[in-house]
Structure 1
Amino acid sequence: MKFLLALPLFALLSFSPNAQAQTAPATAAKTGNVATAQFKTSAVCDMCKARLEKSLAYEKGVQSATLDVPSKVLTVTYRPDKTTPANLRTAVQKTGYDADELTADARAYNRLPDCCKKTNTVHTDAH
């Protein structure tokens, strides 16, 4: 009876080193080829930070996105074989923010909360 209980445990222990050895190379391949891009944005608050970082997280090839609110600089770490800085700028625009010299998508900008809109422009209600 003890033998039957020990057999599954022995089988589990004998296979676990092989499983670990097979998954290790995949992790190393992911971290090998990365690039970083920085964009000046029109973001103004912590809600902007959360919105931009979340939006960029869904972009193909993006590994991380961090917005420094005081400087309005978005730093994106990405895989150059999956995306380009131009694609990342477009993603920022489609979220409703300026990206370097490119202005925000108007429809996306209009959907932003008031606190996330540029303070130096005048907005009128068309209601």
Structure 2
Amino acid sequence: MKTLKIWMLALVMTGFATVGFAANGKKGDEVKFKTSAVCGMCKATIEKGLAYEKGVEKAVLDVDSKIVTVTYDAKKTSPEKLKKAVNELGYDADDSPATPRAYDRLDECCKKDSAH
């Protein structure tokens, strides 16, 4: 019985060690760029839109600074593709302008010319 407890404890400890190694595994690449986002609705649109992009692990927009931080898998996407995705959502990304058609579809409060 004592041997069984030792084996069970060893098995449990191995499981915890495996989880620990997975949690400390390599984090994805990170890119930051300035957007033309102006409000909370913009934040939701950009974060949700980027979540659907292949290779994106996490996207967070700071509305005050207008900086979006994207953690991604460099094997599946690139900063250029991510900027293009933001442009196709209707927002500027650094020097890359929003796609006109997507910008026109934004709510008035999300347009960079709106008063906030």
Q: Tell me the equivalent position of 1:7.
A: none
Q: Tell me the equivalent position of 1:92.
A: 86
**Count of residues paired in the alignment:** 101
Question: C-alpha deviations, 1:2-57, integer Å up to 9, x for none?
Answer: xxxxxxxxxxxxxxx7xxx7xx68x939x525100001000000000000000000
Q: Tell me the equivalent position of 2:68.
A: 74
| Secondary structure in 1 matching 2:88 | helix
Question: In percent, how many aligned pairs have the same letter?
Answer: 55
State the Cα distance separating 1:119 from its structure 2 match: 1.8
Question: C-alpha deviations, 1:76-113, integer Å up to 9, x for none?
Answer: 00011110000000000000000000100000000000
Supply the distance in 2 between the matched residues of 1:38 and 1:119 (Cα, whole angstroms).
Answer: 23
Supply the distance in 2 between the matched residues of 1:85 and 1:53 (Cα, whole angstroms).
Answer: 15
Supply the distance in 2 between the matched residues of 1:49 and 1:32 (Cα, whole angstroms).
Answer: 27
Normalised TM-score (structure 1): 0.71
Question: In the alignment, is residue 64 of structure 1 matched against residue 58 of structure 2?
Answer: yes
Question: In the alignment, is residue 83 of structure 1 matched against residue 84 of structure 2?
Answer: no
Normalised TM-score (structure 2): 0.77
What is the identity, as a one-letter code, of the residue corresponding to 1:101? Answer: D
State the Cα distance separating 1:117 from its structure 2 match: 0.1
Q: Tell me the equivalent position of 2:30.
A: 36
| Secondary structure in 1 matching 2:109 | helix
Supply the distance in 2 between the matched residues of 1:88 and 1:57 (Cα, whole angstroms).
Answer: 10
Aligned ranges 1:1-127 → 2 under 5 Å? 28=22, 31-119=25-113
* 1:33–1:80 contact (8 Å) kept in structure 2: no
Supply the distance in 2 between the matched residues of 1:79 and 1:33 (Cα, whole angstroms).
Answer: 9
| Secondary structure in 1 matching 2:33 | strand
* 1:67–1:74 contact (8 Å) kept in structure 2: yes
The 4+ residue runs of structure 1 with deviation greater than 4 A are none
CA RMSD of aligned residues (A): 2.4
